[in-house]
Chain A
């Protein structure tokens, strides 16, 4: 079984991003970048499936400028076998990413595609669902457990009311939630090995995909900052404030 995994290079989750003074975008200069945490979970899941003998090959794909090769190398160090960079501007629309990955999927014909549920920069939570629709294959989003059996994936999903389990026919798209697994630490020898693994570069032209967009960003502004409040010294004072000042309890 072949697994395709998508990985996105994003601002590290520990960074509190700031908006540029011209309110056109967020400040990305000299900011630490990392693999999107949900994509890291996606790679880890694929690697575990390979270790269990369920998967035989893991191909990782990233759409972006040359810098995303670094993210692909991280995925290779985690255990993926080969990588494909699709050379494009960073942060093109999810629909364009889905079309590009769909074109690669048509060439690679994977049995399973694992993606993050959400990129923590755009917070879109849509690319996996779009890809599944474009390929006309089933999906199981927000996965916390994946079992492969008999040409099917049985997937437990984190939904608003609790957990739901679906069985989907392969090929299919699975998107990861936080509880699916805990990614391993990368060992130094694996970083060295990753440097030697194949990394191919493709262009949207080669894939026959137009990446134009009908969405224009008008402005990016900082959020309204909350005024920090006060410290109270006792439960009694807290209750008094909530009743008489904030008036949120009777």
Chain B
């Protein structure tokens, strides 16, 4: 068995989701190689080479790969993939964007958002917003899989000494051009890596009101998340959204404030260790999954909670 993992990074640092993907690969077993595709991304390759269970690190470092566009990166991956039994990427927006192209070009299926490995051919993934859990077997010669980070602990990022191999293949991106981006700047931990999350919903009432969660988040060293309704209403940007079609999180502590608990929201946070819900409606479905529920007006209790910490 041999596994190729497509590393998640921003040309500077290797992202934690890569390490969760690695521990999924360790469960499958066999040699694990990592592929870093980007521009001026040697630092990432060095970090990857340092990860304990990595055998070899391939690095394709060229301006054409700067924004990791799906069209050319998938072609690069396909060329390498033919030497492997499994090709894995984290189920991030980058992995989800690119990996299905790889599967199609290899003429194999893709298993999305895998949360557990049964054996080298058999995998577990949630369907229907996590209301059912499917166990599936694949007989494809190459298994192409995206890994949901919350399903696996992070692998050890230290102690390795993998060989770094440069790929000099340059595949231009002719039909897709990067125009610009607006990335959220924040001193807070990333939502998917935070051990505490404070999330707000439509109950926050406005973008200005949403700021009362900042004080609480600061005290807890927490990331701030949101429901779809809060994002749709423009209280916060899209990258805050937790849920079936947003981010999946599993922190030690998730505090849901003014969120009703629709199945689509629960799908993204149900695996949190401890859930706290603050909602003025005692019938809100969020209380069915909350370890500690507080029926109250959030505008009274959030400032109080901040003070009490």
Contact = CB atoms under 8 A, between A and B. Distances in A.
Contacts of A223: 126, 130-133, 270
A188 interface: no
Interface in B112-167: 112-113, 122, 125-140
B97 A137 contact: no
Contact of B292 (A141, A159, A164, A241): A241
Interface in B152-196: 174-184, 192, 196
A141 B96 contact: yes
A53 interface: no
A130 interface: yes
B92 A132 contact: no
A166 B99 CA distance: 18
Contact of A226 (B97, B126, B177, B289): B289
Chain B: interface size category: 35 or more
The dominant DSSP class at the B interface is: mixed
Nearest to B181: A164
B262 to A, nearest CB: 9
A170 B183 CA distance: 26
Contact of A222 (B94, B132, B177, B295): B132
B207 interface: no
Most buried by B among A98, A124, A233: A124
A98 B101 CA distance: 11
Contacts of B125: 123
A104 interface: no
A246 to B, nearest CB: 5
Interface string A154-186: 100111111111111100100001110000000
Contacts of A220: 127, 132-135
B85 interface: no
Given A214-B139, A215-B109, A167 B133 contact: no
Given A242-B292, A246-B274, A123 B110 contact: no
Contact of A160 (B105, B111, B239, B282): B239
A31 to B, nearest CB: 11
A95 B291 contact: no
Contacts of A127: 100
Interface stretch (B20-28, B31-39, B198-206, B230-238): B230-238
B274 A248 contact: yes
A129 interface: yes
Contacts of B67: 164
B110 A126 contact: yes
B104 A98 contact: yes
Given A125-B112, A169-B175, A235-B305, A229 B97 contact: no
B177 A214 contact: no
A158 B184 CA distance: 12
Contact of B264 (A13, A18, A222, A238): A13
Interface in B253-280: 253, 263-264, 270, 273-276
B38 to A, nearest CB: 15
Contacts of B134: 217, 219-220
12 contacts: A13-B264, A94-B110, A95-B103, A118-B245, A137-B175, A142-B93, A164-B67, A164-B181, A169-B175, A218-B122, A231-B294, A242-B253
Interface of B: 10, 67, 69-71, 74, 92-94, 96-105, 107-113, 122, 125-140, 174-184, 192, 196, 220, 228, 231-232, 237-239, 244-245, 247, 252-253, 263-264, 270, 273-276, 282, 287-295, 301, 304-305, 308-309
Interface of A: 11, 13, 16-19, 26, 38, 93-95, 98, 117-118, 120-134, 137-142, 144, 154, 157-169, 172, 177-179, 213-223, 226, 228-236, 238-239, 241-242, 246, 248-249
